[in-house]
Amino acid sequence: MKSKAKYLLWGNLSIIAILVFCFPKLMISPGHLIEEHTALESACFSCHEPFFGISSQRCISCHKVDTIGTTTTKGVAIVRKKAKIRFHHRLKGQDCTDCHSDHTGVAKYRPTARFAHEVLDSSLRSQCEECHQRPIDPLHRPITSPCSQCHRQDKWKPAQFRHDQLSAAEQELCTDCHKNKIPTDPLHRQVSSQCNQCHGKDKWKPAKFKHDMLPITKRERCIDCHQHKLPADPMHRHLSTPCGSCHTVTHWKPATMDHKPWFELDKNHLVACVRCHPANNYKAYTCYDCHEHSVEKIRSEHAEEGIRNYERCVQCHRNANEDDAKKLWKSGGDRGRHKGEEEDDD
């Protein structure tokens, strides 16, 4: 049985080999030849070497490297307005099949394949215009540096544009190139058109906004631009003072709140806000949480001074110094303002 199987295998291989040599087009052809090579449709061995495939030397025997792109193999001139393929004579090697195929079934001239720039002579790799047509759009016209400054050889896009290649005057005219990217939000409509005052040239974000570009009347109206960042915590809800009273225009944090207009905080009063403002109610305060007072004791002590409204501590006690509170009460200088505060609170 083994002997018969061996003879059968060799028989099949022999038949296949004979068919390949007698009918190569039917057996192994990857497709019809390109139009220019139709005369060689039945002459496979004009390009192929038996058992070795296509030889570049056979290609060069017909297609002289120095005349590629200018004349046909028969010496007829080629008229192509945009043809820039004279680089063939400056290739490092002569392996034609790396880029070309004359069978349409494979890929006609391999149009979808990526050209390997590594096969070019090193002196030609930086001379892109030898093969590629130079862009004529407004962005590329003023640029004189090599294409490789922004583009890669394996991918034309995306490109990393370097603004320092532009002249100093052109670097200020951002909207000449970025017309379709001009922001139209309320903030950008009222600021300067010089984008580089806030944005960097290498990255559009993050940007550093300079508030001094805004009109003076706009600088105090923070919430016109920062509506979505308006604090909603209990402390901020009760404040009516401008944001600039605590915050700066360069950094939102850290913020410094001047507590002195209400009560001057000393080292013994640097406690959590809720100690004096229970339940985060910043319209109300209490001193009893820390000071061991009783209502009767406080009443009797203030009655001696003729003070009836002793529950509003900070009207007289603007700091922890009790002598200052006595002086303030006896001078009567702050009573009128306290009365106004009482009316506002009511």
**pLDDT digits over 90-135, tens only?**
776 777 877 777 777 655 445 445 567 777 777 777 788 777 888 8
pLDDT at position 29:
67
Taking a C-beta distance cutoff of 8 angstroms, is the pair 150, 162 a contact? yes
Residue 341 pLDDT greater than 70, yes or no? no
Taking a C-beta distance cutoff of 8 angstroms, is the pair 86, 68 a contact? yes
CA–CA dist 55, 94 (Å, integer): 10
**pLDDT digits over 228-279, tens only?**
777 877 778 777 778 888 888 877 888 888 888 888 888 888 888 888 888 8
- Average pLDDT for residues 327-337, to the nearest whole number? 60
User: What does the block give as tokens for 25?
Assistant: 């087009």
C-alpha dist (Å) from residue 163 to 88, 146, 167, 200, 250? 34, 14, 9, 10, 27
Taking a C-beta distance cutoff of 8 angstroms, is the pair 335, 342 a contact? no
Residue 318 pLDDT greater than 80, yes or no? yes
SS3 254: coil
pLDDT at position 198:
82
What is the band of 336 on the pLDDT scale with cuts at 50, 70, 90? very low
CA–CA dist 4, 158 (Å, integer): 63
User: What one-letter code names the amino acid at 155?
Assistant: K
97-123 burial code (b ≥16 CB/10 A, e <16):
eeebbbbeeeebeeeeeeeeeeebeee
Closest CA to 100 of 158, 56, 152: 56
The residues, any chain, with a CB within 8 Å of residue 121's CB and separated by 6 or more, are 90, 91, 92
SS3 214: coil
SS3 48: strand
pLDDT over 90, % of the chain = 0
Q: Per residue, what are the HEC states of 282-330?
A: CCCCCCCCCCCCCHHHHHHHHHHCCCCCCCCHHHCCCCCCHHHHHHHHH
- Average pLDDT for residues 17-36, to the nearest whole number? 73
pLDDT at position 74:
82
**pLDDT digits over 154-201, tens only?**
778 888 877 877 778 888 888 777 877 778 887 787 776 678 778 887
Q: Where are the beta strands (DSSP E) in 138-272?
A: none
CA–CA dist 103, 54 (Å, integer): 12
What is the band of 342 on the pLDDT scale with cuts at 50, 70, 90? very low
pLDDT over 70, % of the chain = 87
127-139 burial code (b ≥16 CB/10 A, e <16):
ebeeeeeeeeeee
pLDDT at position 346:
39
The residue with greater pLDDT, 76 or 332, is 76
- Average pLDDT for residues 34-41, to the nearest whole number? 82
**pLDDT digits over 276-296, tens only?**
888 878 888 888 878 777 778
pLDDT at position 76:
84
User: What does the block give as tokens for 164?
Assistant: 């320092």
Residue 219 pLDDT greater than 70, yes or no? yes
Residue 220 pLDDT greater than 50, yes or no? yes
- Average pLDDT for residues 6-18, to the nearest whole number? 82
Total-model pTM? 0.38
**pLDDT digits over 51-86, tens only?**
777 878 888 888 887 788 778 888 888 776 555 666
Cα angle: 105, vertex 108, 112; to 5 degrees:
105
What is the band of 12 on the pLDDT scale with cuts at 50, 70, 90? confident
CA trace torsion 20, 22, 27, 31 (10° rounding)? 120
